[in-house]
Chain A
Amino acid sequence: MKKILLSIAMATLVAACGSQEVKKDVPVADRTAPTTQPTQPSTTTTTSPATQPAITANPLTDPKNVLSKRSVYFDFDSNAVKDEYRGLIQAHAKYMVDKRDTRIRVEGHCDERGSREYNLALGQRRAEAVKKVMTVLGVQDGRIETVSFGEEKPAATGHDEAAWARNRRGDIKYAGE
């Protein structure tokens, strides 16, 4: 039962990411700026969940909260975390430091170009890159599992750069979601 719920949650999550991405495209960082100011994550992330008007809203799913943003996008054949996603990762790291019972899985993905197995390895390195930023910020190693789906689970099904850019990503998934 839990598994079913989880997969439904994942499906909706993926769908949500996909629909937002169409509009986002390049200025990804700007959309999160009005509510969370990712340029100053240390102050904003502690206050944003507490000062949200809807106290019952889950910060992980509240679309106004940076924590609902789960995907970190990468350049082709690269596992370098771009500056525009550091705020997002820092927000999740802060959340995990505050809530010590949380565990996550970072899932690495690639676009369809190149060999499947090399892409699987590349996706793993992307997941590890996201994890590394979080462990540097104080999240214990054992709370973050990294796996890769390579090119097997594209978020966008097209065969052009717009689709590929959305598929080269690391997705943060909380246990129990």
Chain B
Amino acid sequence: MKRLLAAFLLAFAALAAHAQLTIDITTSGGRQIPVAILPFAGEAAQPQPVSPVVGADLARTGLFRLVNAMGVSPVPTEPSEVNFVDWQARSAEALVIGKVEPQRDGRVEVRFRLFDVQKQSQLASFSYVVAPAQLRATAHRIADVIYEALTGEKGVFSTKITYVVKRGTRYELQVADADGANAQTVLAANEPIISPAWSPEGGRIAYVSFDQKKPIVVVQNLAQGATRVVANFWGNNSAPAWSPDGKSLAVTLTRDGISQIYVVAADGGEPRRMTTTPAIDTEASFSPDGKWIAFTSDRGGSPQIYRMPAGGGAAQRLTFEGTYNVRPRFSPDGKSIAFVQRESGRFRIAVLEVDTGQVTVLTDGTLDDSPSYAPNGKMILYEAQVGGRGQLAAVSSDGRVRQRLVSSAGDVRDPAWGPLPTN
């Protein structure tokens, strides 16, 4: 059991004006790749140094160990300056060097190289010409390249997350970078906001607003801020879930009595009823291939996870252990479903392997809720209650790495992890 603090991030929390979340990481077991991230030449003169952000991104996954580069002088910034034997002695397996050079037009060029220390060979090299304000985003892109080169999986450092902050009677829907930096309020209200859901292309967020003293489903365009009410029928309107093509939403409506699942076009219109039971059917989640809708139903007497064909048809029960299994979310590969399970009075995040039915409990909180997969499927973001307040947390999908995103103020809840950037 090893515990470490993402000191890089804490250091830079002071620099990033909007940073509100700091991250605490716990890892247990598993091998960590030792990687040396050297300071980039010229970065200290920039408003946002690059290498600390790259290092913090990689360290936060729990899959990497940052190798101490103290005492290396001069710091290599070109391949010819790298003494691989020295880095082998420091037991680094990978090495990152780079430089930041101002351009005549006010932009900066960022170059970096990733080396395999044992083979003494270059694994990746990229150059970006960006505005100084883009340096932090560029650092995340570099971390994505390194992560993918060393693990074979897509990095998610350039993605966004959304969540709700409650302060007193004020509710804010915020969007932040995946590391919690650059938090921006995209909606503020005096009534609750729940269940934010990213559209597949990342440009829109659907959520449930109580501004009209009852729950209605709204879609907000992030670039323009424009909102559109997509479901405001008699009774409750809630639990929006995007179809993979972004054209429609599954929602839960009570217009015909009890909570049932419907599908409605993303720009509104007449909903099509998907379930017809005398029980609660809610919390829909589309499979990434669009073929299935997983959902919660208590038709069998207790709330359990079911799935049905997305075009309609008979539902099949998927969970059988325990009396409370709710809030399903498909993994990006469609093979697993994260959900909330109650056992012995505790609510924790669990993962169901769809083909085998095997369930693995991943967290050890008391009131964990709202699991949301990272778009590479490697982490699950969720809400945990700590000291009576909601806080964001994340756990790797194998359960080995845990992060807590510690907020300085307010009650932070209902997170959703956005898609990979499209560029």
Q: Which residues of A contact B (CB under 8 A)?
A: 77, 112-118, 120-122, 124-125, 128, 145-150, 152-153, 159
Contacts and interface: CB of A to CB of B under 8 A. Distances in A.
B9 to A, nearest CB: 29
Given A125-B280, A148-B215, A117 B324 contact: no
B369 A116 contact: yes
Contact of B296 (A118, A125, A146, A150): A118
B355 to A, nearest CB: 24
A114 B215 contact: no
Nearest to A120: B238
B220 interface: no
B324 A77 contact: yes
A118 B236 contact: no
Interface string B355-392: 00000000000010110000000000000010010000
Contacts of B194: 116-117, 120, 150, 152
A117 to B, nearest CB: 4
Interface stretch (B13-21, B27-35, B251-259): B251-259
Contacts of A152: 192, 194, 210
A125 B210 contact: no
B405 interface: no
Given A115-B327, A116-B369, A122 B195 contact: no
Interface of B: 192, 194-195, 208, 210, 213-215, 234-236, 238-239, 252, 254, 257-259, 280, 282-283, 296, 302-303, 324, 326-327, 340, 342, 347, 367, 369-370, 385, 388, 414
A153 B169 CA distance: 10
A114 B210 contact: no
B185 to A, nearest CB: 19
Nearest to A146: B235
Contacts of A117: 194-195, 238-239, 252, 282-283, 296, 326-327
A117 B370 CA distance: 9
Nearest to B413: A116
Contacts of A114: 324, 326, 340, 342, 347, 369
Which secondary structure characterizes the binding site on chain A? mixed
A113 B367 contact: yes
Nearest to B328: A115
B210 A149 contact: yes
Given A121-B282, A128-B258, A148 B370 contact: no
5 contacts: A117-B252, A120-B208, A121-B238, A147-B213, A152-B194
Contacts of A116: 194-195, 369-370, 414
A115 B370 contact: yes
B369 A120 contact: no
A120 B327 contact: no
Contacts of B282: 117-118, 120-121
Contacts of A153: 192
A115 B326 contact: yes
B215 A118 contact: no
Nearest to B302: A77
A118 B284 CA distance: 11
A122 B258 CA distance: 9
B254 A124 contact: yes
**Cβ-closest 7 pairs across A and B:** A121-B259, A115-B327, A152-B192, A121-B280, A147-B214, A117-B239, A115-B326
B267 to A, nearest CB: 23
Contact of B236 (A77, A112, A124): A124
Contacts of A145: 234-235
Nearest to B214: A147
Contacts of B367: 112-113
A91 to B, nearest CB: 25
A146 B192 CA distance: 18
A120 B234 CA distance: 15
Given A112-B385, A121-B238, A124-B259, 10 more contacts: A112-B367, A114-B324, A115-B370, A116-B194, A120-B236, A121-B252, A124-B235, A145-B234, A149-B210, A150-B215
